[in-house]
Amino acid sequence: MKAELATWNNGDGVDLETWHSCLGNYSSAVGYSTLFWPTFCKHKEYIFRAGVSPSSVQSWENTGVTKQALEWTINHIHISDLYPGAEDYSNDKAFAIANQLREIYQAKLNWQFPNDPCIVEIYIPEAEDDSEDDFIDYQVSFWQQKHEE
């Protein structure tokens, strides 16, 4: 991202806020708001991102997974799936987004469910080799602390 910002303003560069004001639009901002300030809901003894169907929860319960694994799996987001086919994906951008989502989700879950503390994590799968150019599929998810294994 730093390299991209440095090319703006005839090579003098710009900060993220300036760059955003040049490229952003209100329709995108409304869409991003659902990602960066999601709606969470309770279902049975679980907390999920809005839109989870009861039948999906029941299907996962029927597999016998732990409550922690169930919440983690249903709530997880692959950062690479936010913009499928985007040519500007990079590990540094994906990690920055994942880290912001982790902080935002933690703050919102603490605010919305103060009596049901949740753990929000960034999952970083192990790279197949030591190359910094390897695509890393960062994921963000959460579960309730009471469901810790």
As for how many domains the chain has, the answer is: 2
Residues 30 and 79 grouped into a single domain: no
The domain in which residue 12 lies consists of: 1-36
Residues 29 and 102 grouped into a single domain: no
pLDDT digits (tens, 9 = 90+) for 45-92: 999 999 999 999 999 999 999 999 999 999 999 999 998 888 888 888
Answer whether 69's CB lies under 8 Å from 79's CB: no
What single string gives the DSSP state of each residue in 19-74?
A: HHHHH--HHHHHHHHHHHS--EEEETTEEEETT--HHHHHHHHHTT--HHHHHHHH
Give the confidence band of 106 by pLDDT, cuts at 50, 70, 90. very high
Residues 4 and 16 grouped into a single domain: yes
Residues 98 and 76 grouped into a single domain: yes
Residues 116 and 48 grouped into a single domain: yes
Residues 20 and 93 grouped into a single domain: no
Q: What is the pTM of this model?
A: 0.83
Average pLDDT over residues 94-115: 96
Residues 32 and 42 grouped into a single domain: no
Residues 21 and 88 grouped into a single domain: no
